[in-house]
Amino acid sequence: MTVKNAFYAQSGGVTAVLNASACGVIETARRYPDKIGKVYAGHNGILGALYEELIDTSQESDDDIAALRHTPGGAFGSCRFKMASLEENKTQYHRLIEVFQAHDIGYFFYNGGGDSMDTAHKVSYYSKKMGYPITCIGIPKTIDNDLPATDTCPGFGSVAKYIATSVKEASRDVDSMCTTSTKVFIMEVMGRHAGWITASAALAMEKEDDPPHMLLFPEVDFCREIFLARVKRTVEQHGYCVIVASEGTHYADGTFLSASRTTDAFGHVQLGGTAPILARMVKDTLGYKYHWAVADYLQRAARHLASAVDVEQAYAVGQAAVKFALAGKNSIMTTIVREDDPEKYVWSIGEAPLEMVANVQMRMPDHFISLDGLHITAECREYLKPLIQGEDMPPFRDGVPVFTRLKKQFVEKKLTAFDI
Amino acid sequence: MTVKNAFYAQSGGVTAVLNASACGVIETARRYPDKIGKVYAGHNGILGALYEELIDTSQESDDDIAALRHTPGGAFGSCRFKMASLEENKTQYHRLIEVFQAHDIGYFFYNGGGDSMDTAHKVSYYSKKMGYPITCIGIPKTIDNDLPATDTCPGFGSVAKYIATSVKEASRDVDSMCTTSTKVFIMEVMGRHAGWITASAALAMEKEDDPPHMLLFPEVDFCREIFLARVKRTVEQHGYCVIVASEGTHYADGTFLSASRTTDAFGHVQLGGTAPILARMVKDTLGYKYHWAVADYLQRAARHLASAVDVEQAYAVGQAAVKFALAGKNSIMTTIVREDDPEKYVWSIGEAPLEMVANVQMRMPDHFISLDGLHITAECREYLKPLIQGEDMPPFRDGVPVFTRLKKQFVEKKLTAFDI
DSSP string, B87-114: TT-HHHHHHHHHHHHHTTEEEEEEEESH
**pLDDT value for A1:** 60
Bridge partners (DSSP) of residue A338 are: A347
Angle at A309 between CA A308 and CA A314, to 5 degrees: 100
The C-alpha of A134 sits at a distance from chain B's nearest C-alpha, in angstroms, of 27
Which chain B residue has the Cα nearest residue A184?
Answer: B297
**Interface membership of A265 toward B (CB under 8 Å):** no
| Helix (H) or strand (E) run with residue B290 in it | strand B290-294
Q: Are B52 and B17 in contact (CB under 8 A)?
A: no
**pLDDT value for B268:** 42
Q: Are B405 and B68 in contact (CB under 8 A)?
A: no
Which whole number is the average pLDDT over A53-70? 98
Which whole number is the average pLDDT over B163-189? 97
CB within 8 Å: B73 and A179: no
**pLDDT value for B359:** 84
CATH 3.40.50.460 fits A156-301, yes or no: yes
- Segment B323-344, tens digit of pLDDT: 999 999 999 999 999 999 989 9
In whole numbers, what is the pLDDT of chain A averaged over residues?
95
**Interface membership of B233 toward A (CB under 8 Å):** no
**pLDDT over threshold 70, residue A22:** yes
Cα dihedral A141, A143, A146, A149 sign: positive
Which residue among A170, A261, A388 sits closest to B298, beta carbon to beta carbon? A170
**pLDDT over threshold 70, residue A339:** yes
Q: How far is CA A379 from CA A204, A310, A365, A385, in A?
A: 16, 20, 11, 10
**pLDDT value for B271:** 42
Confidence band, pLDDT 50/70/90 cuts, at residue B43: very high
CB within 8 Å: B389 and A398: yes
**pLDDT value for B260:** 63
**pLDDT over threshold 60, residue B404:** yes
**Interface membership of A192 toward B (CB under 8 Å):** no
Q: Helix-strand-coil percent breakdown of chain B, rounded to 5?
A: 40, 20, 40
The C-alpha of B74 sits at a distance from chain A's nearest C-alpha, in angstroms, of 5
Q: How far apart are CA A306 and CA B304, in angstroms?
A: 12
**pLDDT value for B407:** 98
**pLDDT value for A112:** 97
Which whole number is the average pLDDT over A45-62? 98
**pLDDT over threshold 90, residue B263:** no
- DSSP code per residue over A392-409: -PPPEETTEE-------P
**pLDDT value for A151:** 98
Which residue among B164, B390, B399 sits closest to A203, beta carbon to beta carbon? B399
Which chain A residue has the Cα nearest residue B405?
Answer: A172
Going by C-alpha positions, the residue among B172, B219, B159 that lies closest to residue B368 is: B219
CB within 8 Å: B13 and A72: no
| Helix (H) or strand (E) run with residue A290 in it | strand A290-294
Active site residues of A: 144
Q: Are B308 and B18 in contact (CB under 8 A)?
A: no
Q: Are B122 and B97 in contact (CB under 8 A)?
A: no
**pLDDT over threshold 60, residue B190:** yes
Bond before A212 cis per omega within 30 degrees: yes
**pLDDT value for B1:** 61
**Interface membership of B181 toward A (CB under 8 Å):** yes
Cα-atom radius of gyration of chain A, to the nearest Å? 23
Confidence band, pLDDT 50/70/90 cuts, at residue A269: very low
**Interface membership of B261 toward A (CB under 8 Å):** yes
- Using an 8 Å CB-CB cutoff, list chain A residues near B73: 169, 172-173, 175-176
Under CATH, which architecture does the A4-141+303-359+391-401 domain have?
3-Layer(aba) Sandwich (3.40)
Q: In what order do the strands lie in the sheet with B290-294?
A: A214-216, A241-246, A184-189, A290-294, B290-294, B184-189, B241-246, B214-216
CB within 8 Å: B268 and A271: yes
Which chain B residue has the Cα nearest residue A401?
Answer: B165
**pLDDT value for B272:** 57
B21, B47, B274, B296, best to mutate vs chain A, most A CBs in 10 Å: B296
- Using an 8 Å CB-CB cutoff, list chain B residues near A399: 161, 164, 203, 307, 385, 388-390
- Using an 8 Å CB-CB cutoff, list chain B residues near A80: 177, 180-181
**pLDDT value for A139:** 98
**Domain ranges, ordered by start, for chain B:** 4-141+303-360+390-401, 156-300
Q: Are B299 and B159 in contact (CB under 8 A)?
A: yes
CB within 8 Å: B176 and A401: no
A44, A158, A162, A165, best to mutate vs chain B, most B CBs in 10 Å: A165
Which residue among A80, A176, A270 sits closest to B14, beta carbon to beta carbon? A176
Contacts of B410 (CB under 8 A, 6+ apart): B43, B53, B54, B55, B56
**pLDDT value for B144:** 97
Contacts of A311 (CB under 8 A, 6+ apart): A17, A20, A69, A70, A158, A392
SS3 state of residue B307: strand
CA trace torsion A374, A377, A378, A383 (10° rounding): -110
**pLDDT value for A85:** 83
- DSSP code per residue over B236-263: HHHS-EEEEEETT-BBTTS-BGGG--EE
**pLDDT value for B264:** 42
**Interface membership of A158 toward B (CB under 8 Å):** no
Which residue among B72, B73, B180 sits closest to A44, beta carbon to beta carbon? B180
Cα-atom radius of gyration of chain B, to the nearest Å? 23
Going by C-alpha positions, the residue among A27, A45, A132 that lies closest to residue A82 is: A45
Which residue among A272, A304, A307 sits closest to B305, beta carbon to beta carbon? A304
The C-alpha of A328 sits at a distance from chain B's nearest C-alpha, in angstroms, of 32
Q: Are A74 and B177 in contact (CB under 8 A)?
A: yes
CB half-sphere exposure, B389, CA atoms < 13 A: 13
- Using an 8 Å CB-CB cutoff, list chain B residues near A79: 177, 179-181
**Interface membership of A210 toward B (CB under 8 Å):** no
Amino acid letter at A320? Answer: A
Going by C-alpha positions, the residue among B316, B332, B364, B296 that lies closest to residue B146 is: B364
B156-300 shares the fold of B4-141+303-360+390-401: yes
**pLDDT value for A70:** 98
Pairing type for strands A184-189 and A241-246 reads parallel
**pLDDT value for B167:** 98
Q: Are A292 and B294 in contact (CB under 8 A)?
A: yes
Residue range B4-141+303-360+390-401, CATH number: 3.40.50.450
**Interface membership of A390 toward B (CB under 8 Å):** yes
Q: How far apart are CA B26 and CA B3, in angstroms?
A: 15
Cα dihedral B108, B111, B112, B114 sign: positive
Q: Are A296 and A192 in contact (CB under 8 A)?
A: no
**Interface membership of A114 toward B (CB under 8 Å):** no
Going by C-alpha positions, the residue among B264, B274, B282, B178 that lies closest to residue B228 is: B282
SS3 state of residue B165: helix
Q: How far apart are CA A250 and CA A197, in angstroms?
A: 16
Which whole number is the average pLDDT over B118-145? 95
- DSSP code per residue over B329-396: --SEEEEEEE---SSS--EEEEEEEHHHHTT------GGGB-TTSSSB-HHHHHHHGGGG-SB-PPPE
Confidence band, pLDDT 50/70/90 cuts, at residue B265: very low
Which residue among B74, B261, B304 sits closest to A305, beta carbon to beta carbon? B304
Which whole number is the average pLDDT over A57-78? 98
Which residue among B270, B295, B400 sits closest to A164, beta carbon to beta carbon? B400
Q: How far apart are CA B229 and CA B213, in angstroms?
A: 13
**pLDDT over threshold 70, residue A208:** yes
**pLDDT over threshold 80, residue A270:** no
Confidence band, pLDDT 50/70/90 cuts, at residue B266: very low
Q: Which of B144, B146, B310, B392 is catalytic?
A: B144
The CATH H-level superfamily of B156-300 is Phosphofructokinase domain (3.40.50.460)
Q: How many residues does chain A have?
A: 420
Percent of chain B with pLDDT over 90: 91
Q: How many CB pairs below 8 A link A and B?
A: 215
CB within 8 Å: B297 and A389: no
**pLDDT over threshold 80, residue A23:** yes
3-62 of A, contacting B, C-beta below 8 A: 10, 13-14, 16, 44, 47
Q: Are B42 and B7 in contact (CB under 8 A)?
A: yes
Percent of chain A with pLDDT over 90: 91
Catalytic, B392? Answer no
The phi-psi region of residue A149 (left if phi > 0; otherwise alpha if psi is between -120 and 50; otherwise beta) is: left
CB within 8 Å: A396 and B391: yes
A68, A163, A169, best to mutate vs chain B, most B CBs in 10 Å: A169
| Helix (H) or strand (E) run with residue B397 in it | strand B396-397
CB within 8 Å: B295 and A293: yes
Q: What is the pTM of this model?
A: 0.97
Which chain B residue has the Cα nearest residue A18?
Answer: B173
| Helix (H) or strand (E) run with residue A323 in it | helix A308-326
CB within 8 Å: B296 and A293: yes
Which chain B residue has the Cα nearest residue A260?
Answer: B268
Contacts of A331 (CB under 8 A, 6+ apart): A120, A121, A124, A125, A136, A353, A354, A355
Confidence band, pLDDT 50/70/90 cuts, at residue A84: confident
CA trace torsion B372, B202, A191, B280 (10° rounding): -10
Q: Are B232 and B194 in contact (CB under 8 A)?
A: no
CB within 8 Å: A399 and B168: no
CB within 8 Å: A47 and B13: no
B177, B181, B284, best to mutate vs chain A, most A CBs in 10 Å: B177
Which residue among B72, B165, B388 sits closest to A169, beta carbon to beta carbon? B72
Q: Are B290 and B185 in contact (CB under 8 A)?
A: yes
User: What is this model's ipTM?
Assistant: 0.96
CA trace torsion A162, A168, A174, A176 (10° rounding): -140
Q: How far apart are CA B321 and CA B312, in angstroms?
A: 14
Contacts of A236 (CB under 8 A, 6+ apart): none
Confidence band, pLDDT 50/70/90 cuts, at residue A263: very low
- Using an 8 Å CB-CB cutoff, list chain B residues near A301: 166, 169-170, 172-173
Number of Cβ within 10 Å of residue B359's Cβ equals: 12
- DSSP code per residue over A237-281: HHS-EEEEEETT-BBTTS-BGGG--EE-TTS-EE---HHHHHHHH
Q: Are A209 and A234 in contact (CB under 8 A)?
A: no
The C-alpha of A276 sits at a distance from chain B's nearest C-alpha, in angstroms, of 7
The C-alpha of B390 sits at a distance from chain A's nearest C-alpha, in angstroms, of 6
**pLDDT over threshold 50, residue B62:** yes
| φ, ψ at A63 (rounded to 5°) | -65, -40
- Using an 8 Å CB-CB cutoff, list chain B residues near A185: 297
Confidence band, pLDDT 50/70/90 cuts, at residue A264: very low
SS3 state of residue A389: coil
Contacts of A168 (CB under 8 A, 6+ apart): A204, A211, B400, B401, B403
User: Residue A336: is it exposed, middle or buried by C-beta count within 10 angstroms (0-12/13-18/19+)?
Assistant: buried
Which whole number is the average pLDDT over B50-66? 98
CB half-sphere exposure, B154, CA atoms < 13 A: 36
Q: How far apart are CA A197 and CA A307, in angstroms?
A: 14
**Interface membership of A388 toward B (CB under 8 Å):** yes
